[in-house]
Amino acid sequence: MNFLVPHDGSEHAYKALEQTVELSKKLGGAVKIEVIIVVPDLCLVDVGINECDTITGTLYKEAQGIRTKVNEKLAGLGASAEIRIEAGNEVDNILKCADELPADFIVIGAAGKHGAGRSGRLGSVTDKVVNKSDHSVMVIR
């Protein structure tokens, strides 16, 4: 069984990771967990190339930091996962990765770093993944 866990460093993403590890242990360990961290493309038309490189570099360093923390969390839970960092549109990359794995389940936090989940609504990325995915999606609050 293959699980894909999109991760952005948010509280909900860590809960999704913890739930995935717990579920994998209940399934007897015959499970592959893959974590995807997406560096969003925030370079706008009116941003110069130097500014774009700075923005992208900063976001990539943040993604590397998230990867380190996810590895530490997994080690603390007695689990491991393949962790990949992709650049571009979050939803497109999550869905592409789910197809490539292929994922039996996408396990995603209800909301990301910007906190829509506090109001009880799904975050925009989670909402789009739920509505566009051909894979089963588990949303973790």
As a whole number of angstroms, the distance between CA 127 and CA 106 comes to 13
Along the 141 residues of the chain, how does pLDDT read in single tens digits?
999 999 999 999 999 999 999 999 999 877 999 999 999 887 766 677 788 888 889 999 999 999 999 999 999 999 999 999 999 999 999 999 999 999 999 999 999 987 655 566 899 999 999 999 999 999 999
What CATH number matches the domain at 2-140, 3.40.50.620, 3.20.20.300, 3.40.50.720, 3.40.50.2000?
A: 3.40.50.620
Question: What residues form DSSP beta bridges with 133?
Answer: none
Query: Is the CA virtual torsion 21, 133, 56, 82 positive or negative?
Result: positive
Question: What residues form DSSP beta bridges with 36?
Answer: 6, 84
As a whole number of angstroms, the distance between CA 86 and CA 38 comes to 5
37: nearest Cα among 70, 86, 105, 75: 86
